[in-house]
Every structure is written in C-alpha cells, then in structure tokens.
C-alpha cells in the first residue's frame, strides 16, 4: 500500500462467516464465532504500528445490524430471532440481524465499542449497515410493537433509529461513524461519512446535503474487472452537479477486496497490480486518462511490487504445476497450460456464483480458474496490435497477427490433450476447444483481409453467431483474446457493407 501511496486500510473484521478480533469484554465473539481464525489484540496492535510507520491509518469495520450471524453464535440474546446460530458457510445476504428494540443491545455495543475504541486509535469506526434483511424484524412482535410506539413507519426508519443510537455510543468514545450507502437516512448528523458501493448517485446526493463520502463503486477488485475500467472511474463524476465546496466533501475512493473467492495463495493476484491503477487515479487529476501509458507503467510497477514481497506473479506457475497431481507435467505441457492461463480470465462480476458450482467458505480454490489472472496482459497487447494493424491498413504485415493464432491453435491442441489426461483439468477441454475455434476464425478473417476478398453476408452472419457462442464461459473462464477477434470480424463486415 505504501509503495503506491494508499494511506488508509479499511479492515472489515466481522461478517456472517466469522468474527475476526479477540474481544476480552465478550470473549465468546472470537471463541465461538471464528473457527479459531481471529487476530489477537497484540496482533492488531502490531498491524497498526507497522501501518503507522508507513503513513497508513487503520480503520476497523464491524458490520451491524446485518451481516452479523457470527456475533450471535456466542451471544444470541442480542439477535432479533431466538436462534440457535452457527457460523455461515455460504455467501450472500442472510436473515440474522441485531434487535434494535432491545435496550440490552445498546448496553452490549457500549461495552464493545469502548473496548474497540481503545484498541483502534483511528478517529473513524465503520459500522457497515449494508444489506439489512428485515425478515426477523417483521416476525418479532416486540420489534413491531417498538416500531409502532416510536412511530417508525418502515424498516429503513428502524435502521435509522439503530444507527443514531450507535452514533451516540461512538461519539461518547470520540469516534466518527462511517457506513455503507444504506445508513444515509434523514436526520443523521453531518459528521458521519457515507461509503458508496451501489453507485455515485448516493455520494452526490450526500454531498449536496452536506455529508462526506467515499466511493468504492467501480473499485471492487474482487470482481476481476480491468485496470482500465478502474482507472477511468473517478470519485467525482465529471458531470456531477456539485459546487466546489460540495466536491471537497468527497474524501476519495477505496479499492475494495472481498474474500469469497480467494485464499492466502491467490489474494495477491486479485489485488495487484490493478490496485496500483486505482491508487494512481485517486492521487491524480481527473483529466489524466492516458490508458495506454497506464498499462506501460503498470507492467513495471507489477515487477517492483513483487520485489517488495507481493506474490501475485510467483504463485501462478506453482499452482498450475500442482494441477498435474502425482505425475508431473512434461515441460511442453507445462508451457502450454501456462500459455492458456495467460489469455484466460475468470468470469467477471459475481458470475462465478451462477456457473453451476456452489461456493462456500470451505471450498478449495485450486482449480484452473483460480490460477488465471483477473486481466490478461498478453490479450491486451494483442488487441493493441490488432488495432494498430487495422488502423494502418498494411495488409502485407498480416503475418505479425497470424503468428499469434498459429501459436494459440497449438496451445489449444496441447491443452485439449491435457484435459483428457488429467482429471482435474477435464473442465478446461471446452475452453481449449473454444480457443481452437477462435484461432481458426482469426486465421480465416486475416486471409480474407489480406487477399481483399469478400466472404459474403451468409458467411459473416454465421461467424458472428459463432463468435457469440465462443464468448460463453467455460470452466468459469473467458478467453480474453475474443475482443480482438471481434475487431477483425468487424473490419471484414465493413468491407462487405
């Protein structure tokens, strides 16, 4: 973080899947709610001390009143339903939620935040506040009676009541409150900070009403989007109807890394080097938007990060070799698998959760898709080559592009053989077949372009349909060279028209 001038570590320390901090006031939080995976208070102090030496603040987050299953494993009396509770192994949004109508809830939080305020010296504490499921609130007669008594018309008003009570507690311990979009409700003091994960509109609306804000929407690095997309996303949209004073209320942005689909072995590759692009955006004027120069420098920074101890590059070959099991790959097989991994990317967004496989916190993340980088630099370089080739119109240089397709057809043949030979690689067979068809299509297009021939509308229509089919994910991966082939096919279509 210090190497790229990131200056705040937002540490998300509680979730449905685990409570991760030692609490001496409420020890059952970490004893029963963590599977034994938690930071001791001495370890917390060590991290804060190291961060401080590097000029980095550490802001903790304890997500309440929702995303709170792990709290209730040890302390079910503060929940809105009786339980019993156990740590959640799946991912998503779940029903367990704190009971805002129980006075004991606030006594609990008063003691808890007194302890955590002493442990974390930063002036801010993040309370989460996102994705609160109201199912248990609606089913609880005590809570419904409480809402009627206090004239709280809906669940949003009930959460706003809860937030105000938590704000009183944090203020008592000289802390400022930060929360996700959902805490933005009328009546909250203007010294809270709103973190926008759903879009810039909440940030703009908050600033126009005098609230400070942080943007994380567009910077979710766990979604495997491109560095380009992150880089062109600015905390203050150019078209935002904000005065200069209101713009100053937007404090910055945050590269947000969630951990559903990472392990200690893969997390660095999901964070770096793309987070360096986000860091540059946050420290740069909005008008600096040279994407090609960004990528030129990103490759250099990537190597430098590795020298600083980041393992985003060095772990991939080891993970790929492990896929062979007891019988090691032959050198040429290893090179072919590496070549396929260099142009394959995990599906974007939350799509891995909808590909037919249910992920839990216990799932081993050791498949081919986990070995692939979020963004293929080779595919980007190839697309740039294709763009230059098409722009220049020097068809006598077709061989420069053709060589890539020849290489990838060979990679496809070798990896199809690997898929048949190694059980854990069976799933990449269709991916390798897609690469073979995509490479063959690229070669066909190049020959037509080189010869200046018109393949006809029927041929073009059929190939467009084929290309759309080849875009479909295989083994939860997508081939990153597809956009370049689409550019080539588009040029051929212009020739026909």
Which residue's structure tokens are 């590496």?
338
Q: What is the DSSP code string of 55-109? A: T-EEEEE---SSS-HHHHHH-GGGBSS--------S-S--S--B-TT-HHHHHHH
Q: 392: burial class by Cβ within 10 Å (0-12, 13-18, 19+)?
A: exposed
131 classed as catalytic: yes
292 and 243 in contact (C-beta within 8 Å)?
no
Q: What is the 3-state secondary structure (H, E, C) of 5-29?
A: CCCEEEEECEECCEECECCCCCCHH
Q: Residue 359 in 3-state DSSP?
A: coil
**Catalytic site residue from 15, 46, 115, 131:** 131
Give dist(CA 366, CA 266) in Å, integer: 9
Q: How far is CA 282 from the centre of its chain?
A: 17
Phi/psi at 346 (5° precision) = -60, 150
Q: Residue 314 in 3-state DSSP?
A: coil
Whether residue 9 is preceded by a cis peptide bond, meaning omega within 30 degrees of 0, is no
Q: Within 10 A of 107 (CB to CB), how many other CB atoms are there?
A: 12
Give dist(CA 388, CA 393) in Å, integer: 8
Measured between alpha carbons, how far is residue 325 from residues 109, 329, 474 in Å? 50, 9, 22
Catalytic residues: 131
């Amino acid at each position: 973080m210090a190497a790229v001038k990131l200056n705040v570590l937002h540490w998300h320390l509680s979730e449905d899947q685990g409570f991760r901090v030692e609490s001496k006031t409420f020890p059952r939080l970490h004893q029963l709610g963590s599977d034994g995976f938690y930071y001791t208070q001495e370890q917390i102090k060590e991290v804060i001390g190291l961060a401080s030496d590097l000029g980095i603040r550490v802001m903790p987050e304890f997500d309440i009143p929702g995303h709170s299953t792990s709290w209730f494993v040890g302390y079910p009396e503060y929940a809105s339903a009786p339980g019993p509770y156990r740590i959640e192994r799946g991912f998503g949004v779940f029903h367990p939620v704190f009971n805002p109508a129980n006075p004991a809830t606030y006594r609990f939080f008063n003691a808890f935040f007194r302890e955590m305020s002493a442990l974390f010296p930063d002036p801010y504490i993040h309370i989460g506040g996102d994705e609160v499921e109201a199912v248990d609130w609606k089913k609880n007669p005590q809570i419904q009676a409480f809402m009627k008594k206090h004239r709280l018309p809906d669940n949003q008003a009930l959460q706003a009541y809860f937030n105000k009570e938590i704000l009183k507690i944090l203020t008592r311990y000289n802390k400022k409150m930060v929360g996700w979009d959902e805490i933005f409700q009328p009546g909250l003091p203007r010294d809270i900070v709103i973190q926008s994960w759903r879009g810039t509109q909440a940030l703009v609306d908050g600033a126009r009403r005098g609230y400070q804000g942080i943007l994380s929407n567009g910077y979710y690095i766990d979604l495997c989007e491109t560095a380009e997309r992150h880089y062109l996303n600015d905390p203050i949209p150019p078209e935002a109807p904000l005065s200069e004073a209101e713009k100053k209320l937007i404090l910055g942005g945050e590269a947000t890394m969630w951990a559903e689909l990472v392990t200690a072995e893969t997390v660095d590759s999901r964070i770096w080097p793309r987070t360096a692009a986000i860091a540059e955006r946050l420290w740069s004027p909005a008008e600096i938007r040279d994407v090609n120069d960004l990528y030129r420098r990103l490759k250099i920074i990537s190597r430098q990060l590795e020298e600083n101890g980041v393992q985003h590059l060095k772990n991939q070959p080891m993970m790929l070799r492990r896929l062979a099991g007891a019988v090691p790959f032959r050198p040429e097989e290893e090179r072919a698998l590496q070549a396929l991994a260099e142009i394959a990317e995990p599906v974007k967004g939350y799509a891995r959760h909808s590909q037919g496989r249910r992920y839990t916190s216990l799932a081993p993340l050791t498949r081919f898709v986990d070995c692939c980088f979020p963004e293929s630099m080779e595919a980007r370089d190839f697309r740039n080559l294709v763009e230059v080739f098409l722009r220049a119109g020097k068809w006598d240089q077709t061989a420069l592009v053709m060589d890539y397709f020849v290489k990838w057809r060979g990679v496809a043949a070798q990896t199809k053989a690997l898929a048949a030979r190694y059980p854990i690689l069976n799933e990449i067979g269709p991916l390798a077949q897609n690469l073979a068809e995509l490479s063959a299509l690229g070669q066909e297009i190049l020959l037509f372009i080189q010869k200046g021939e018109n393949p006809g509308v029927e041929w073009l229509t059929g190939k467009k349909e084929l290309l759309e089919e080849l875009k479909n994910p295989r083994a939860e991966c997508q081939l990153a060279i597809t956009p370049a082939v689409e550019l080539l096919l588009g040029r051929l279509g212009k020739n026909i028209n």
